[in-house]
Amino acid sequence: MIRFKKKITILIFFSDLIRKIFKGDRIKRISSKINFFIAKEFSKNKSKKLTIIDFGCGSMEVFKKIQNNIFIKEIIGLDIFSYNYKYKKLKYVQYKNLKQIENFKADIVLVVDVLHHIGVDNAFKVLKKLAKISNTLIIKDHFEYSFFSRQLLRFVDFYANYSYGVTIPKEYFTLSKWQKTIKKSSLFEVYFDNGFQQHDGIFNVLLNKKYHFFSPKKKTI
């Protein structure tokens, strides 16, 4: 459930203003990367229109950036809080447990900065469930390298997610833990961008590309 419902618009406004001033628009580059991948994978069949699930969609910021993609028919946003989004091409569904999502089917599932909130050790279980509803997963998440980098990521997570009541994780992925997660998930990587530049400006100084990775995956056959 979103905290401060009456104040959420103000909180988002100031958050967006700070990001704009200090070049911290995280969604712009992520959305461009998603659009590029979709065009590359589906350009041979332009008549195909995709249904996409945005798992852990939050305030639908990714949707707002990719909704005009010519390949997209519908985006289904899934998250745990109650909210009434009104956009064309969008269907928002509140879920209470992961069992509920098994009834959905999609061409692509987006998992953008969600897995570390679920828990590094449990991420493979979620990926297995998501692989049942789509053959293609597009994952964006974070790497930690030390105690300091972990606390830095936790602080940024708190800043970005407090209004939504999201649990701040105690740890993030390391490369080795991510590799184990993928092995347990029985997925294979289309490619792995270990060093995805998410921000510009001061935000990039604080959280440069070593903290971010982008990893489209497909179900093993």
- Where do we find the tokens 């909704």? 67
Q: What are phi and psi of 61, to 5 degrees?
A: -70, -35
Query: CATH code at 31?
Result: 3.40.50.150
Q: Is residue 29, in this structure, part of any structural domain at all?
A: yes
Q: Is 210 helix (H, G, I), strand (E, B) or coil?
A: helix
Domain count for the chain, please give it. Answer: 1
62 lies in some domain? yes
Look at residue 141 and tell me if it is in a domain: yes
To which H or E segment does residue 192 belong?
none
In a domain, 2, yes or no: no
On whether residue 107 sits in a domain, the answer given is: yes
The first and second tokens of residue 181, run together, are 């997660």
- Within a domain: 121: yes
In order along its 221 residues, the chain shows pLDDT tens digits of 344 444 455 656 666 666 666 565 678 888 988 998 998 888 777 678 999 999 998 888 899 899 999 899 999 999 888 878 888 889 998 888 878 888 889 999 999 999 999 999 999 999 999 999 998 999 999 999 999 999 988 988 887 776 666 788 999 999 999 999 999 998 888 888 888 777 676 666 666 778 788 888 776 43
pLDDT at 149: 92
For β-strands 187-189 and 212-219, DSSP reports them as: antiparallel
Residue at 204 is within a domain: yes
Within the chain, strands assigned E span 50-55, 72-79, 90-94, 108-112, 136-142, 187-189, 193-194, 212-219
Residue 176: the pLDDT is: 94
- Domain containing residue 139: 8-219
Domain assignment of residue 1, yes or no: no
**pTM for the predicted model, two decimal places:** 0.84
Tell me how far apart the alpha carbons of residues 51 and 74 are, in angstroms, rounded to a whole number.
Answer: 5
